């Protein structure tokens, strides 16, 4: 936590740089900037060092951010305040703009992605050379970095004791909001110009507005209100993709259109297994962020467990492409991959099943799947995505045992028992009898004549693949 001396000046300009915290309420950096400066400028940078690396010009995440910034800038505009949107390299644009307006300080919230840490170090150095202060705060997690450690003052490597320590450390103060509304009169006055268009940023409109996810902070509020009515049932409903059992807040938490403290406080205020289970999911999020901070090499494709760095996966690019194209012949796998490509979202249970299938049925390198999810998930977060893939591949921190493989048929029968999710995304099986929908290749000839379907056979036999994978990992 940054501290300020009594010498802090009250009549000066400061910048609050928004990144993955695209809201005005309960915002740590904005709260502190408003407390210590009389004219606070809101700034967002469409960073070309990030945007230029995106392979597709129709990117759901860019448009999601664009709409969130539209709403955020609109709030500034209603307050008669000045919100600035820049387009360029953040490490150039932030120091340049700070110098231009005569800012005494730049405030932002921490981002422990290794690339973001390098960017922020560059910005901080440039600001220091200009005599401009740099202040960062915790905002995207409840506990970060070294806040939850073992009695030996080391990072936890197993989740269950981490969760126990996390809950023991938690106090009501940790979930208190960083209030901004009482101090908004200190926003810098001025005209907020219209945002740059998507096309001027080099991108095109996507299907985002046709998807059922509400956008911006107002959309996040709607989702949280809706989920608050369903949270008590979360433990029993969260694993079934055909029903409305999860929060659908992941993208909003990823881009900070809602505060993690707000969500955590709601879960903590409720009793029962549902809220407790949901809070555990939030703790997993903190856990993976902590792991990435201590092991930045994970972002370079290293296994958390180094002995698996030597593992060579025999799976082919053809196998990988069939998985990507949802042509595996396993209905639930194909339905999950189509959900991802059509909506930018995949149900968490299905993320585990599809990842396990790629790595342990097809013996394809987990890093290929990690990159594919990174390219398509609207809620993509490096720490959680890497942690999830390494968990499924048994190479990660507190991962599932290497000898555990998800059976795609039994998982389908258990978590989509009526085949509703399959029929939604694999219409080729719309008329397949329920008895065969989880494994249509088992349908007898007589039924095939009666219920003709156009669907491909399974690309691999799970039983044989299991034997091969066990031998691969055992070696």
Out of 1.10.10.10, 2.40.160.100, 3.40.1410.10, 1.10.579.10, the CATH code matching 306-474 is: 1.10.579.10
pLDDT at 193: 84
The percentage of the chain sitting over the pLDDT mark of 70, rounded to a whole number, equals 98
Class of domain 140-177+218-294: mainly alpha
Residue 4 has pLDDT above 60, yes or no: no
Phi, psi of 344 (to 5 degrees): 75, 10
pLDDT of residue 235: 97
Encode pLDDT of 361-413 as tens digits.
Answer: 999 999 999 999 999 999 999 999 999 999 999 999 988 888 889 999 999 99
Q: Which two tokens stand for residue 142?
A: 């409840």
Q: Tokens at residue 416, please?
A: 């989509």
Longest dimension (CA), the chain: 86
CATH 3.40.50.620 positions along the chain are: 13-139
DSSP state, residue 328: S
pLDDT attached to residue 438 = 97
Q: Which CATH class is domain 13-139?
A: alpha beta
Handedness of CA 75, 174, 94, 189 (dihedral sign): positive
Residues of the chain with pLDDT > 90, as a percent, come to: 91
State whether the Cα torsion 349-352-355-357 is positive or negative: negative
Asked if the model's pLDDT at residue 5 lies above 50, the reply is: no
pLDDT tops 70 at residue 9 = no
Reported confidence tier of residue 359, pLDDT bands at 50, 70, 90: very high
The answer to whether residues 148 and 162 touch, using CB atoms and an 8 Å cutoff, is: yes
Which regions of the chain carry the CATH code 1.25.40.80?
140-177+218-294
Per-residue model confidence (pLDDT) at position 8: 40
Higher-confidence position of 194 and 29: 29
Rounded to whole angstroms, the Cα distance separating 374 from 371 reads: 5
Residue 273 confidence (pLDDT) above 60: yes
The answer to whether residue 449 scores a pLDDT higher than 90 is no
pLDDT of res. 11:
52
Q: What pTM value is reported for the model?
A: 0.94
Q: What value does the mean pLDDT take over residues 42-62?
A: 95
pLDDT confidence of 69, banded at 50, 70, 90? very high
Three-state DSSP string of 387-455 = HHHHHHHCCCCCCCCCCCCCCHHHHHHHHCCCCHHHHHHCHHHCCCCHHHCCCHHHCCHHHHHHCCCCC
């Amino acid at each position: 936590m940054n501290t300020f001396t009594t010498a802090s000046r009250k009549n000066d300009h400061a910048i609050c740089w928004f990144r993955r915290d695209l809201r005005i309420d309960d915002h740590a950096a904005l709260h502190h900037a408003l407390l210590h400066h009389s004219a606070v400028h809101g700034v967002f940078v469409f960073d070309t060092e990030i945007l230029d690396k995106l392979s597709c010009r129709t990117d759901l995440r860019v448009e999601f951010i664009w709409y969130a910034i539209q709403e955020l800038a609109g709030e500034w505009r209603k307050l008669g305040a000045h919100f600035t949107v820049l387009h360029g390299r953040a490490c150039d644009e932030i120091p340049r703009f700070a110098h231009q307006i005569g800012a005494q300080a730049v405030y932002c919230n921490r981002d422990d992605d290794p690339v973001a840490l390098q960017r922020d170090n560059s910005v901080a150095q440039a600001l220091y050379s200009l005599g401009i202060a740099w202040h960062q705060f915790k905002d995207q997690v409840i506990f970060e970095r070294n806040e939850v450690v073992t009695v030996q003052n080391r990072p936890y490597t197993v989740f269950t004791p981490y969760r126990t320590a996390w809950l023991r450390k938690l106090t009501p103060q940790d979930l208190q909001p960083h209030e901004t509304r009482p101090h908004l009169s200190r926003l810098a006055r001025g005209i907020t110009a219209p945002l740059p268009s998507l096309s001027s940023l080099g991108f095109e409109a996507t299907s985002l507005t046709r998807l059922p996810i509400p956008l911006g902070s107002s959309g996040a509020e709607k989702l949280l209100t809706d989920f608050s009515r369903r949270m008590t049932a979360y433990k029993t409903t969260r694993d079934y993709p055909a029903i409305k059992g999860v929060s659908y807040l992941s993208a909003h938490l990823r881009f900070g259109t809602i505060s993690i403290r707000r969500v955590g406080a709601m879960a903590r205020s409720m009793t029962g297994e549902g809220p407790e289970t949901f809070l555990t999911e939030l703790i997993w999020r903190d856990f993976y962020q902590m792991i990435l901070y201590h092991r930045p090499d994970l972002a370079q494709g290293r296994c958390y467990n180094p002995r698996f760095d030597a593992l060579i996966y025999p799976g082919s690019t053809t196998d990988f492409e069939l998985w990507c194209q949802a042509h595996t012949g396993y209905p639930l796998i194909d339905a999950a991959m189509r959900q991802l490509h059509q909506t930018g979202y995949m149900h968490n249970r299905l993320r585990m099943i599809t990842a396990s299938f790629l790595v342990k049925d097809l013996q394809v390198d987990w890093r290929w799947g990690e990159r594919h999810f990174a390219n398509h998930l609207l809620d993509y977060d490096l720490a959680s995505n890497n942690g999830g893939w390494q968990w499924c591949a048994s190479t990660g921190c507190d991962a599932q045992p290497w000898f555990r493989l998800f059976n795609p048929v039994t998982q389908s029968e258990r978590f989509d028992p009526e085949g509703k999710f399959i029929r939604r995304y694999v219409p080729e099986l719309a008329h397949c009898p329920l008895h065969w929908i989880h494994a249509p290749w088992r349908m007898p000839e007589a039924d095939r004549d009666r219920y003709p379907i156009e669907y491909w056979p399974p690309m691999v036999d799970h039983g044989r693949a299991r034997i091969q994978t066990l031998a691969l990992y055992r070696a």
